[in-house]
């Protein structure tokens, strides 16, 4: 990762925090996340969360251009993030500008769609069961990949809804 670009992004995130503080909105969560995770990971986590109180506050003040989402979707910084995070940041900004509902978290969309399929098939399906079955499926894939990795030099990764990468 380009260290100069990360440093500039960190300064911009601190600037955002300082502006919110001047507006009387001390978002301790933002400051804590920046400290605990660093600016890039904190931004990724914030963009991928449904809670958008800070983003809505900035919209009310006409300051969407300084939001975390605006920085993540900015071509200057987009190389610091995966494609899905950049797209989600842009989608959230577009939804607010157009007065639409914010896009749902990918994980919730997956659960809802699986429940619809289960209902159509006449089966009851709980969130816990979906998570359990998905975890078991990922474990099976990892087991298979581990067995194959003995024969190959590199193992591709699977990016799951939470943005984690796990070996296949």
pLDDT digits (tens, 9 = 90+) for 152-168: 544 444 454 445 554 54
* C-alpha atoms less than 13 angstroms from C-alpha of 163 in its C-beta half-sphere: 17
* Per-residue pLDDT, 73: 95
Q: Is 49 left (phi over 0), alpha (psi -120 to 50) or beta?
A: beta
Are 132 and 122 contacting, i.e. CB atoms less than 8 angstroms apart? no
* Per-residue pLDDT, 155: 46
Handedness of CA 79, 83, 86, 90 (dihedral sign): positive
Q: What is the mean pLDDT of residues 11-32?
A: 82
* Per-residue pLDDT, 143: 73
* Per-residue pLDDT, 130: 72
For residue 158, the SS3 value is strand
Query: Does 121 score more than 50 pLDDT?
Result: yes
Least confident of 5-9, 16-20, 69-73, 137-141: 137-141
C-alpha dihedral (33, 36, 41, 43), degrees to nearest 10 = 20
Model confidence at 10, in pLDDT bands (50, 70, 90)?
very high
**Which of 91, 92, 71 shows the shortest CA–CA distance to 80?**
71
């Amino acid at each position: 990762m380009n260290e100069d670009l990360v440093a500039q992004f960190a300064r911009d995130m601190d600037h955002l925090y300082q502006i919110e503080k001047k507006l009387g909105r001390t978002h301790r969560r933002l400051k804590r996340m920046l400290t605990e995770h660093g600016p890039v990971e904190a931004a990724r986590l914030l963009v991928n969360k449904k809670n958008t109180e800070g983003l809505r506050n900035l919209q009310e003040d006409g300051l969407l251009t300084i939001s975390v989402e605006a920085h993540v979707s900015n071509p200057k910084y987009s190389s610091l993030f995966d494609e899905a995070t950049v797209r989600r940041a842009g989608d959230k900004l577009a939804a607010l500008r157009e007065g639409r509902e914010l896009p749902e978290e990918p994980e919730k969309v997956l659960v809802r769609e699986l429940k619809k399929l289960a209902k159509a098939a006449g089966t009851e399906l709980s969130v816990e069961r979906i998570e359990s079955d998905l975890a078991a499926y990922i474990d099976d894939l990892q087991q298979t990949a581990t067995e194959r990795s003995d024969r190959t030099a590199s193992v591709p990764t699977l990016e799951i809804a939470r943005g984690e990468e796990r070996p296949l």
